[in-house]
Amino acid sequence: MAQQIWFITGSARGFGRALAAAALDAGDLVVATARKPGHLADLGDRHGDRVLPVSLDVTDADAASAAFDRTLERFGRIDVVVNNAGYANIAPIETAPRDDFRRQFETNFWGVYNVTRAALPILRAQRSGTIVQFSSIGGRVGSTAGLGSYQAAKFAVDGFTRVLASETAPFGIRCLVVEPSGFATDWAGSSMDIQAFPPAYDATVGAIAGIMGTATTQAGDPGRAAEILVNVVKRRDLPSHLLLGANAARMALDYSRRQIAEADLWQAVSVSADFDQTYPVGFPDEVPQ
């Protein structure tokens, strides 16, 4: 595929930085965005005018539009938009500060919305482009105690992107949701605030807080993942979702098997709710305690 122009949010560190480096190493051009573009200076030093550092807070819709204006002025088009910026704090839903819960959602969902919406008129006019949304295995499986805001936002990103893909396919726009498990970034380190919580949540939220920064959350290699993603995006055939990491693959398969088993078990009850179906029907046997 010809040289591509990437627009990547959250490029200062973590997945965003690894992906910017991988795209540049592949010979592509990169618009690297961060709230503090000074953190991107080394990319410019290494790659010169092949990288455009841009200041962007993804929660600011006007700033997102301005960032794309700068991109077009410099490169004339956009081929890949990557919504990577995001973070998580840990707290039980019961006691998490409302403002913090909302701020996380503002970045993790509304930031994706702002950047995607600003990009769409450009991609639609080009009749081409790929939108890559960074979710999480938690955005498919969920249920990680303490990550209520983060995982709710990732579920929202997935639903949003499924509709987006349906609406924009006629314009030649492709969508990909990336679902990593734990990787060696600072997502579970300096970027995360583990907030105080009541002792009643020690066995659930406390257990999750205890593994942050350990091998469980650091198993994946961001450099490998970034190289994989660059090569996947260059394919003609794109998956709708890309799991990254051994834990992500295992958890997704286990979850899908449980979903199928449960839907099959309750199928007769589900069908009986329609007017033209037999009703009532028996419920499945209770599981012994």
Active site residue ranges:
135, 150, 154
Q: Smallest Cα–Cα separation from 195: which of 92, 283, 123?
A: 92
* Strand partners of residue 81: 7, 131
Burial 235-249 (b: 16+ CB within 10 A, else e): eeeeeebbbbbebbe
Q: What's the burial of 38, exposed, middle or buried (CB within 10 Å: 0-12/13-18/19+)?
A: exposed
Cα–Cα dist 196/100, whole Å: 13
Q: What are phi and psi of 164, to 5 degrees?
A: -55, -45
**Residue 117 burial (CB count, 10 A):** 13
- Which residues, 6+ apart, have CB-to-CB distance to 172 below 8 Å? 126, 127, 128, 129
Q: Are 142 and 151 in contact (CB under 8 A)?
A: yes
DSSP 8-state assignment for residue 188? T
- Which residues, 6+ apart, have CB-to-CB distance to 14 below 8 Å? 84, 183, 185, 186, 187, 191, 222
